[in-house]
Structure 1
Amino acid sequence: MLQQSMLNHSSLPPRVSPPMLTDLIAGARRSLEADPILAREYLDRIAALFSKTIDPFEAVLIPALPVVAGVEAAKGGLTPWQIARVREHIDEKLEQTVLVEALASVARLSSGHFCRAFKVSIGETPHAFLIRQRIRRAQTLMLRTTDNLSQIACACGLTDQAHLTRLFRRIVGETPLVWRRSWREG
């Protein structure tokens, strides 16, 4: 087990606090047996903290679902080009209402077929993925701006601060205010 004194060591990169590292290690340990993919995400985030080429803020965001380009599509799933175009569309339109019909159109599929194929490929429904992306954007804005939570909610396509707080607590496990205070620099 890591000792607190080890985590206070001066070899930690700037912007990496001992509590941040402790939380990420604890998350990796919790998920090691039950969810090895999530454990790998935590380890990748820890590695990102020490990387000179990756933004350390990226390590504290909720995990993005891995989509590997060039991998053969799962049977009944989306092709890599469809996944890429859908993700681009979501990123471009995140602050707006994003309809499943529009995503299906981008992938050139019917809505029903698109939803089934998306779940096979990504592992969650289009709606759950969209919410995850909105929460990741909210986390980024909370770390990089001084905007209040109401403004951040609107910038992420959510109706208001209460909506952001409800979704954020469900996905991240704590309120946006508590999370922001614990991860924000000085």
Structure 2
Amino acid sequence: MVANNMNRDSTLSSDAFGCKLDKLTVNQELPSHHMSILRKGSDGGDLGRVEMKGKDRGMLVGLSLSNGHSRRTANENYANSHRFDSGSVYIRDQSEDYGAEISGAFDFILFDVPYSTIAQFARDAGLPSVRTLTPVAVTKDPILANLASAVIPSLKNPAAANPFFLEQITAAVATHLVQSYGGQPVASSSGQRKLSHSHEQLAKEMLMANLDGKLTISDVAVACDMSRGHFIRMFRETTGSTPHRWLVEARVKRASDMLRNSNASLAEIAELCGFSDQSHFTRVFLANFGVPPGVWRRRP
């Protein structure tokens, strides 16, 4: 198990979700604009009874990273036992009281999603009536599992997390959740408006000037006097690509120029072009050029 990276209040015996702090061997948190992402784990043994009083704070989505965990939930109306394997997901509304008997080792990534985030991304997806997610006991969700795996390095070192990357991942998570558990998206209307020439130029200039990842899509949307979702739709209609995909391509193009015209190391190029690390740079470059950056650099 990885080490904790959260500062604990010595006066507290349990975290916000009712888990006993002295039983947790993994206790990490990564706040973002859209939601909080946490990782909670225990190497083994029974945590006993976990209880959480209902609070009007949003939906909690849990994704298991390991096999064999089980829990029994019960209230005056029902009692159910559930087994979680790797990739299993649960969703519950935190406005309701929660109690469960926790058994065995576990390792979960939790997405603490405010109602406001659900409503925002539901509107962007064409689902204006969606305000919450449908509760789920245990279900497999490979898409969410893949998205969650991408944030594990940032959970280990939140101070080094790339804000742009984090915004894109949490936006992808929120969009997936509302589309999969909040209703089906409706088809977008034809004849969708495009960005004006001035807004297109401004957006591209801002993105190009901040390839290091310190700028977020929300920053660009505000500069264009639009909501984030509206800006993304119009940018895609105008350029044929999402802002994130356009930026990735711009980063790869700059990286290829630096490989040809500088003596910078691969790690330096990765940092200057906004990739989370050299490994991330290599994966993206390989996907775009068919060869790793080091091999590409050595070609005549």
Same fold (TM over 0.5): yes
Separation in 1, partners of 2:247, 2:193: 21
1: distance between equivalents of 2:243 and 2:213? 15
Equivalent position to 1:95, from 212, 215, 225: 212
1:163 paired to 2:163: no
Residue 150 of structure 1 corresponds to which residue in structure 2? 267
1:174 alignment partner in structure 2: 291
Aligned residue number for residue 170 of structure 2: none
- Give the structure with the higher percent strand: 2
Q: Shift of the alpha carbon at 1:99?
A: 1.2
Q: How many residues align?
A: 110
Aligned residue identity for 1:172: F
Identity value in percent: 32
1:134 aligns with 2:246: no
- The alpha carbon displacement at 1:76 in A equals 1.1
Q: d(CA) in 2 for partners of 1:146 and 1:174?
A: 19
- CA radius of gyration, larger in: 2
Q: Deviations over 1:49-69 (max 9, x none)?
A: xxxxxxxxxxxxxxxxxxxxx
Structure 2 Cα separation of the partners of residues 174 and 98 of structure 1: 29
Distance (whole Å) between structure 1 residues aligned to residue 261 and residue 272 of structure 2: 13
Query: What TM-score, normalized by structure 1, do the two folds share?
Result: 0.56
1:29-178 aligned within 5 A: 75-178=192-295
> Offset of 1:75 from its aligned partner?
4.8
Task: Kindly state the Cα deviation for residue 178 of structure 1 after the two structures are TM-superposed.
Answer: 1.3
Shift in Å at residue 124 of structure 1? 0.8
> Please, what TM-score do these two structures have when normalized by structure 2?
0.35
AA at the equivalent of 2:206: H
Where 2:299 maps in the other structure, the secondary structure is helix
SS in 2 for 1:167: helix
Describe the SS at the equivalent of 1:97: coil
Aligned equivalents of 2:241 and 2:209: distance in 1?
A: 20
After superposition, the CA RMSD in angstroms is: 1.4
Q: What displacement does 1:139 show?
A: 0.7
Paired AA for residue 140 in structure 1: D
Tell me how far apart the structure 2 counterparts of residues 102 and 122 of structure 1 sit (CA, whole Å).
Answer: 19
Question: Which structure has more helix as a fraction of its residues?
Answer: 1
Shift of 1:100: 1.1
Q: Is the 8 A contact 2:208 2:247 kept in 1?
A: no
CA contact (8 A) 2:195 2:238 kept: yes
What amino acid sits opposite 1:136 in the alignment? K
User: How far does the alpha carbon of each residue in 1:112-171 deviate from its partner, in whole angstroms, 9 at most, with x for none?
Assistant: 100000000010111001111111111111111001100000000112110100111112
Q: Which 5+ residue runs of structure 2 have no aligned equivalent? A: 1-190
Residue 96 of structure 1: how far off its partner (Å):
3.0
